[in-house]
Amino acid sequence: MSQLDRAAAQAIQVAPEPDADRRAAIARRILEALPDWFGLPDALEHYIAAARREPILVALQAGEAVGFALPRRLSPAAAEIHVIAVLPAQHRRGVGARLIERIERDLVGEGIEFLTVKTLAPGVDYPPYVATRAFYRAMGFRPLELFPTLWSAENPCLYMVKALRQARHFADGRLVIASHNPGKLREIAELLAPYRITVTSAAALGVAEPEETGESFRENAELKARAAAEASGLPSLADDSGLAVAALAGAPGIFSARWAGPAKDFALAMARVERELRAAGATDPGRRAARFVCALALAWPDGHIECFEGRVDGSIVDSPRGTRGFGYDPIFIAEGERLTFGEMEPAEKHRISHRADAFRQLVRGCFRP
Q: Which of 19, 21, 42, 240 does the annotation list as catalytic?
A: 240
For residue 254, what is the DSSP state? Answer: G
Annotation says 357 is catalytic:
no
DSSP 150-166: EEETTEEEEEEEEEPPP
List, as one string, the DSSP characters of 48-61: HHHHHHS--EEEEE
Residues near 205 by Cβ (< 8 Å), separated by ≥ 6? 176, 231, 232
Query: Would you say 294 and 239 are in contact if contact means Cβ atoms under 8 Å apart?
Result: yes
Say which CATH topology domain 174-366 has: Maf protein (3.90.950)
Among 132, 149, 150, CA closest to 141: 132
332 contacts 273 by C-beta, under 8 angstroms: no
Domain boundaries, the chain: 3-163, 174-366
The predicted-structure confidence for 89-135, as pLDDT tens digits, reads as follows: 999 889 999 999 989 988 887 778 999 999 999 988 788 899 899 99
* pLDDT tens string 130-170: 989 999 999 999 999 999 999 888 889 999 999 997 788 88
Domain topology for 3-163: Aminopeptidase (3.40.630)
> 311 with 357: CB under 8 angstroms?
yes
Mean pLDDT of all residues belonging to the chain: 90
pLDDT of 169 reads 86
Do the beta carbons of residue 272 and residue 335 sit within 8 Å? Answer: no
**Chain Cα centroid distance, residue 180:** 25
Q: Is pLDDT above 50 for 35?
A: yes
DSSP string, 180-236: --HHHHHHHHHHHGGG--EEEETTTTTPPPPP---SSHHHHHHHHHHHHHHHHSS-E
Residue 4's pLDDT is 39
Where are the strands (E) in the chain, listed by range? Answer: 13-16, 57-61, 64-73, 78-86, 114-120, 142-152, 155-163, 174-177, 198-201, 236-245, 289-299, 305-316, 332-334
What pTM did the predictor assign?
Answer: 0.65
Contact 328, 256 (CB under 8 A): yes
Q: How far apart are CA 157 and CA 135, in angstroms?
A: 16
Residue 3 is predicted with a pLDDT of: 43
State which amino acid sits at residue 338: R
pLDDT tens digit sequence for 295-342:
999 999 999 999 988 889 899 999 999 998 889 999 999 988 999 999
Whole-number percent of the chain with pLDDT over 70: 96
